[in-house]
Every structure is written in C-alpha cells, then in structure tokens.
Structure 1
C-alpha cells in the first residue's frame, strides 16, 4: 500500500527542500561507480532499522501496560483527564502503526516521501504526546507508566536522529541519481 500521489509529492518536495545540502557541487566517487555499473549504493540506515524493529516489538508491551494503568487510575482522574488520556491512547496507537509502517517502507525500500512522513509524524505528533504523558503529573503517573514512557521516548529520539541522517543521505543519493540519469 503506497501513499496517495499528492501526499507523496508534497513530502518529496518538503524533504528535498529541507535535507539537500546546496553547497555540495561535486559528486562522490561512489556515485560515479553506480553510474557506470560498478556497484550500487545502499542508503538504508541500519541503526534506524534496528530501532524500528525493537520499537515494533516493544509497542504492544507499552500499549498493554498503558491500558492496564489507565484502567487502574481511571476512577481517580478528573473527567477532562479521562477524556484526554483515552484520546491520547487512541491517537498514539493509530499514529504509531502508521509511523512504523512508513519507517519500514521508507527505510527498506529507500523511499524519500515515506521516510519524510515517518520523520514528521515522529517529531510533530508522537514525541509531544509521549512527553505529555511523561511529564504531566496531574494524570497520576504510575512507576510502570514512567518506565515504559521513558523507553518509548528514547526510541522516538533515536529514530528522529537516525531518521534525519537516513533521510538526508537518501535525498542526496536520489538527487545524484537524478543528475546522473540526465546524461543517459
């Protein structure tokens, strides 16, 4: 399942504007080798992929612990926090499923728009939500919750940093391939 074309185009344009180093005028020797058929360059990020894999296995544990803790503290919460926490749990579950899919597709298939979508979801939505749950003492944070939130926040931080590096390399590689194909 691929992203719709308008979304792909916008994410592709966004990532090209943000992640391309304009001062780089010369091509790397590896890019010349790829053009002449000597070798192909893999630009997928191993640290990002490892983090995504660990996160995929950790997320169900996070979800189960979050549901159990929410069930235990639900009667003691004010009504507005009940609504907020249930909404945050549903949003984080949906966002995490989409985010992990985009991360896998973007990294393994070396697709810039998917990886840019993954990175934006991580930074703009998932990270603020986990920080809200980690630092808002009014929601009666339990020790188990604090522990799993710290682990998920660490995964998000690692993925944001390694995703930025991977996205930058993918955009550079795609840009060089585009320029090399102009000579065909």
Structure 2
C-alpha cells in the first residue's frame, strides 16, 4: 500500500529541499563511471531498522502499562487532564502505527517520501507528546510510567536521528542516480 500520489510528491519535494547538500550535487565523470559499476547500492539504514524493530516490540508493552497507570490514577486527576491523557493515548497509538509503517516502508523499500513522513511524524508529533507525558508533573507520573516514557522517548530520538541520516543518504543516492541517468542519456545521444 503506497501513499497517495499528491502526498508522495509533496514529501519528495520537501525531502529534496531539506536533505540535499547543493555542494555535493554535481558528480565528476570519474564518479559517474564508479556509480555505473555499483548500480546495486543499498542505502537502507541498519541502525534505523534495528530501532524500528525494537520499538515495534516495545510499543505494546508501553501501551499496556500506560492504560494500567491511567486506570489507577484516573480518579485523582482533574477532569481536563483525564480528557488530555485519553486523547494523547489514542493519538499516540494511531500515530505510532502509521509512523512505524512509514519507517519500515521508507527504510526497507528505500522510498524517500515514506521515510520523510516517518521523520516528520517522529519529530513533530510523537516526540512532543512523549515529552509532555514525561515532564508534566501535574499528571501524577508514576515510576513505571516514567520508565516506559524514557525508553519510548529514547527510541523516538534515536529513530529521528538515524532517520535523518538515512533520509539524507537516500536523497543523495536518488539524486546521483537521476544525474547519472541524465549523463548516460547524453552520452547515448552523442554516440
């Protein structure tokens, strides 16, 4: 299942503008020959894939402990925090499922738009939500909650950093392949 084409195009454009280093975008003729000989490059990130794998197995444990802790402290919370915490739990569950899917698809299939979507969801939604739950003492944070929030925040931070590196490498690789195709097309045209 792929992303819809307009979203894919926008995320691809976003990735190219943010992650392409203009100083290294031109390849020399020697680099083109080297690139032609290595046409089966793999640019998936092993650290990102490992973090995604362990996060996928840890998230159900986080969810169960979060539901149990919310049930235990529910009566002692003000009404607005009850609403906020239930909303955050639902949002984080949905976002995490989408985020992990996009991370897997983007990294293993080397799809730049999916990986960019994963990176944006990690940085703009999941990380602030987990930090809210980790540092807001008014929600009566229990020791188990603090522990699982620290682990999930660590996963999200590692995934955001390694996702940035993987996304940058994939965009460079895609850009160099595009330039190589243009270069080889010009050579065929001259011959």
Q: Counting helix residues as a fraction of each chain, which structure ranks higher?
A: 2
Match of 1:32? 33
Contact 2:106–2:115 under 8 Å retained in 1: yes
Provide Cα deviations, 1:132-172, integer angstroms capped at 9, x if missing partner. 00000000000000000000000011001000000000000
Is the counterpart of residue 15 in structure 1 residue 20 in structure 2? no
Provide Cα deviations, 1:31-51, integer angstroms capped at 9, x if missing partner. 633424x55111000000000
Q: How does 1:102-121 map to 2 (within 5 A)?
A: 102-121=102-121
Contact 1:112–1:167 under 8 Å retained in 2: yes
Superposition CA RMSD, Å? 1.4
Match of 1:62? 62
Once structures 1 and 2 are overlaid, which stretch shifts more, 12-21 or 38-47? Answer: 38-47
Contact 2:25–2:175 under 8 Å retained in 1: no
Once structures 1 and 2 are overlaid, which stretch shifts more, 25-34 or 2-11? Answer: 25-34
Q: Distance between the aligned counterparts of 1:117 and 1:30, measured in 2?
A: 31
Q: Which runs of 5+ in 2 are unaligned?
A: 186-191
Is the counterpart of residue 173 in structure 1 residue 178 in structure 2? no
Q: Are residues 31 and 109 of structure 1, via their aligned partners in 2, closer, same or farther at CA, if it must alter by over 3 Å?
A: farther
Q: Are residues 102 and 113 of structure 1, via their aligned partners in 2, closer, same or farther at CA, if it must alter by over 3 Å?
A: same
Q: Distance between the aligned counterparts of 2:119 and 2:93, measured in 1?
A: 17
State the TM-score, normalized to the length of structure 2: 0.92
Q: Tell which structure's C-alpha radius of gyration is larger.
A: 2
Provide Cα deviations, 1:97-144, integer angstroms capped at 9, x if missing partner. 000000000000000000000000000000000000000000000000
Contact 2:77–2:139 under 8 Å retained in 1: yes
Provide Cα deviations, 1:12-40, integer angstroms capped at 9, x if missing partner. 0000000000011543867633424x551
Match of 2:42? 42
